[in-house]
Each structure stands twice: as C-alpha cells, then as structure tokens.
Amino acid sequence: MVVLLWTAIALLLGAMPFSLWLGRLALRTDVRRHGDGNPGAANAWRAGGWRVGLPALLLDYLKGVAPVGLAHFVFQVSGWALVPIALAPVLGHAFSPFLRLRGGKAVAATFGIWTADAWSVVLGMVVVLAHLLLRRFPSFILAIWAGNMLVLLWKHRHSLREPIRPRPWILNLLRHRR
C-alpha cells in the first residue's frame, strides 16, 4: 500500500507543470511559445531569464528527488518496490495529465539542473549506466535506469534524428563571456 501511495504521489508531483505555471504567474505568458515548444524549465529560462528559469528548474528537479527520497529514506521503500516510485515523476512530467499528456522532455526531472540537448542527455544516461554497472548496483536500480532511458528516448525522438549542433543559446552565452 505504501508503494502504491508513493507512486501516485510521485506521478502527481511529476505531472505538475511548474515551468508553465511560473511562466503564467511571473510573465503572463505560455513558456511553450518559446524555444522548442515544451513546457519545461529550459523554455521557462528562455522566456523569463534566470529569475523564472532557475525556480522552474529547481521545482522540476525537486519533483523527481522529493518523492523518491522520502519513500526510500523516510519510509524505507527499497528494492523493486522503488522502481514505480522512481519512474513516476519522470512519466508524470513527460506525459502530464494537466497538459493532455503533452508534458516536457523530463530532463530536469531526471537530472535536476541538466538543461542540455537530447544527445547530451542520452550520453549522460550512458555514463550513469556505466557507473551503475561498474559499482554493481542491484537489478532494480538498473530497471529504474532502463525505464527512465525509455521515457527520455521517446520524448527526444525528434531531436535525436537531427544532426548534433550547438544550441543557439549556448553559443550566445559563450560569445558574451569573451
């Protein structure tokens, strides 16, 4: 019963489109009109700069960390029982019922502060997998990784078909630092 409850909490928390809500509240705009059209922290950042993007990023990060951390460390959920709880915020973010199942790409929910492009996310997940395998993590952790990777690949499928190129906002940032 605890696993079911925490899975539902994690799914609901993951589904909350914080970036979209912050954009509407702080900017009176829909952040999906910016960048790649997704309701995520990267577009909140593009729409409103760091003052909107940073809180959006933090909230998207926390919606992944909070339910899993509480379930595991406070309620001692572990092993295979942790798999649905850990995947729920990612699935909730990617397929939010608040947005007719058209959620974000789940990068912030997965990596917290990671806002890079799709190939970096995939490469980052490969590094995570290598770490998990080298440290001989239990199979339920690998199942969490596999489920998370499948969601990320699905949500980034269009971006992954394109050739690798630096994001314009990264190039602009580098130009301004010189």
| Prediction pTM value | 0.68
70, burial (CB in 10 Å: exposed 0-12, middle 13-18, buried 19+): middle
Q: What is the domain range of residue 152?
A: 2-177
pLDDT of residue 115: 31
Quickly state the pLDDT bin for 166 (edges 50, 70, 90).
Answer: low
More confident residue, 94 or 119: 94
pLDDT tens for each residue of 98-128: 989 888 777 667 663 233 345 566 767 777 8
- Which helix (H) or strand (E) segment holds residue 8: the answer is helix 2-15
> What would the mean pLDDT of 40-55 be, rounded to a whole number?
89
Residue 25, amino acid: L
pLDDT of residue 104: 77
**Counted domains in the chain:** 1
